[in-house]
Each structure stands twice: as structure tokens, then as C-alpha cells.
Amino acid sequence: MITFKKIFLIFCILIFMLTSLSGCYDARGIEDLAYVTALGIDINDDNVLSLTFQISIPGTSSESGSSQSSKTENTTVQCSSIDSGISLINSYISKQINLSHCKVIVFSEKIASKGLNKYIDTLSNNVEIRPDCNIIISRCPAKDFIENATPSIETLTARYYEVALKSSEYTGYTTSTELATFVNDVKNSFTQAVAILGGINTGDAELTEEPYVGIDGSYKANESPIDDVNSVETFGTAVFRDDKLVGELTGLETICFLLIYDKIEICTISIPSPFKPDSEIDLSIRKSKQPRINVELVNGTPYICVNLFLEAHGLTLNESVDYTSINDVGMLEDSAEQYLKIQITDFLYKTSKEFDSDICGFGKYALSKYLTWKDWEDSKWTDNYKNSFFNVNVNVSVISGSEFDKSP
């Protein structure tokens, strides 16, 4: 005899089987998706967007089975918005565009100068785009940048972007700017945004003849003397006021920025030699203590004190430098401190007077001077920053000329 309990049990089993078997009816496999590794955004004179998608096409394993490679295909579409451009591409290619593996978003200088608010709002609202996707401002059209972004050493294009953009950690010549950080800096009232500065190496760079200016860092993207024509490079920093591009920093100025912002592990600088005229000495520098920054308001004008504490190792070894001599080391420290003080001071006045942009975030230190949020808003810090005065102090301790004495 069939009881009510048996009927109920059979009914539950049937429901479970029906729902479990249909749970993946709308799932899409990786073979149905077109994974974008880079997105380029341009604009023409008629304010029509041009989107360039760099789509990764996975390769097959080699005969030895020890490595894999991938190639890319670039597709460009003219459109009125980012979302409409994606829809147009989806109607054209055989797979659906997926942005979950997008490593970089490249904006041209032209569109960045007009303002990026509506574009970054759209991108940050897209659930597929990761917040750690990097922002690059290209000195050439974004389409050209992406078309020339071909890895020469890395076999995987996505890996190429990851490695290339991490160079800021050990060179300081550019900065790593993620989408989440960029959006936050554009929206808040106590700092301004920066982005990676990119370009194409044209092979037309000329060396400056001006002495003692840290020649190896005094470039921007597409100006470096590297002999690799038509390859992309990231060098320098794009500076924003609100959502608009207002200026660019060289590699050396970017080092100054990262030292103050405490976002650099190690870098190499060339300073005037105190021992031999018309020559330079290379130093590898890193911080020895956290930067100490203080902001005071004198009759409403910002007075900003920056104190940096650095450790240096001499890289230049020749008969004119004796790293075991206390006198020579003292002279080297004085020369490094004076050189960096001049470079950092010039950089700070450039951001305040020329760019009117507090990219170092001094507003965070000024915030404590106000009792209420309304007082802070009424102070109009971003407008007042251009009136700032700076006092920079740099302490450099030269440890040695090599690391051999520290070997186990």
C-alpha cells in the first residue's frame, strides 16, 4: 500500500532530479567566449568612440608538451558608447566578448584631456572587469598602442602585460595604477589621480646635452633611447586634475613622486660626482624609514614639509670612488641629498603651479586641520593647492659600494 510518506518522498526525488539536471542549461564554456586582454578607447573629432579589443586566441601545446603560446587578434569598432560597442562586436564575431581577463585599459591622450568620468563609471560598473585592471594613458592613439603591444619574450600576452607593468617596483620610471585606485582618486576631494604613461618607441629620441639631470630618467614614453622601433613602452606618469589629463611627468619626476608617495621598492639614480668633474655616480636607493610629511596652514596657505630617509648603495666602482673612506662617503651623501632635494622640490612646484594637481595626496594630511567635513569642503583644498610652499629635506645614508660584505 502506498502511503502519503512514500508519495511525498517520490515527489521530492523527482523535483531534485529535475532541478539538478537543468542547473547548467545556460552555462557557457570557454570555447564560447572571446577573452579580451586589452581594451583601447579613442575618440574622433565628432566625439565618436573607437574601441579596440585585443582578443587572446589560445594556442595548442608544443610537441614536447612543455610550453604553450597564444596569439592575439585586434578588432576595432566605431560606436557611441562602450556597451554599444561591445554589443556590435558580439554581433560580428562568433564568440561573446568577455572582459574578466582584461589586463589593461588604454585611453588616448585626446580622450583623457576631454574627461574620463563617464567611461570609468561605465567600466567600474561592469561586473566582468576586475578592479586591479591597469589604466594606461597613451601618447599615441590607443588603437596604435594595442596593435604594437606584441610580446617579444613572453609567449602569453596576458602575462606580458603583468610583467611589463610591474617594472615600476624596481625602476620607478612609471607607476602602477589600477582601475579601483584611479576611480577613487578621481572621485575624492583630498588627492588627484595619476595613470601609467604609454607610447610607441619611434627610434627618434635624442640624448639631452644638459649635464647632471639624471639623463637616464629624463624621458617620457616614446622618447627613450632604446633601440627597438615600433614597440610599446611605459615610461613616466600621466597627471590628472579631477577626471581630465593636465600634464605628464618624466621617469625621474616619477621617481620623486613615488618616493614621497612611498610606492617604490628600489630604483637607480645618477647623481653629479663630487670627486670628478663632468661625471656621474650611480646609486641604488631605497627607503630606510617611512617618509615624514607635515602640512600646516599659514594664513590659509598650505606650508608642506617633506622629509625622506633613504639608504643608498654605490653602483659605480672606479679609482675616483672609495666607499671605505668616511670622507668620500660623506661627500657622496651630501651630493645625493642636494641632488634629490632639488629634483623633488622642482617636481612639487611643477605639480602645484603648472598642473594644479595634488597627486601626492597632501590633502590627507591637511584633513586633520579642519573640525568638520563642511569646513573641509569650504576650504576647497584642490583649488588652494596651487598656492602651496614646500620645504624638502632628504637624508641619504650610503651603506657601501657592494653587497659582498653582507654575504653569509
Q: 280-310, pLDDT tens digit by residue?
A: 888 889 999 999 999 999 988 999 999 999 9
Residue ranges of the chain whose pLDDT lies below 70? 1-12, 14-31, 58-70, 150-160, 162-170, 202-230, 319, 400-408
Q: Are 398 and 329 in contact, with CB atoms under 8 Å apart?
A: yes
332: left (phi over 0), alpha (psi -120 to 50) or beta: alpha
The 10 Å Cβ neighbour count of residue 121 is 13
Task: Write down the pLDDT at residue 14.
Answer: 67
pLDDT in tens, 9-36: 666 676 666 665 555 544 555 567 888 9
Please, what's the b/e burial string for 47-85 (b: 16 or more CB within 10 A of its CB; e: otherwise)?
eebbbbbbbbeeeeeeeeeeeeebebeebbbebeebeeb
Task: Write down the pLDDT at residue 233.
Answer: 81
Q: Which domains does the chain have, with CATH numbers?
A: 31-58+69-260 (no CATH), 266-408 (3.30.300.210)
Closest CA to 101 of 29, 34, 36: 36
Q: Which residues pair with 390 in a beta bridge?
A: 304
- Quick one: how far is CA 110 from the chain centroid? 19
Task: Write down the pLDDT at residue 82.
Answer: 92
Q: Which residues pair with 314 in a beta bridge?
A: 283
- Look up cell 608538451; give the residue: 65
Task: Write down the pLDDT at residue 203.
Answer: 59
287: CB partners within 8 A, 6+ apart: 259, 262, 264, 308, 309, 310, 311
**Model confidence pTM above 0.95:** no
Task: Write down the pLDDT at residue 322.
Answer: 73
Task: Write down the pLDDT at residue 277.
Answer: 82
Task: Write down the pLDDT at residue 66.
Answer: 40
Element (H, E) at 333: helix 326-349
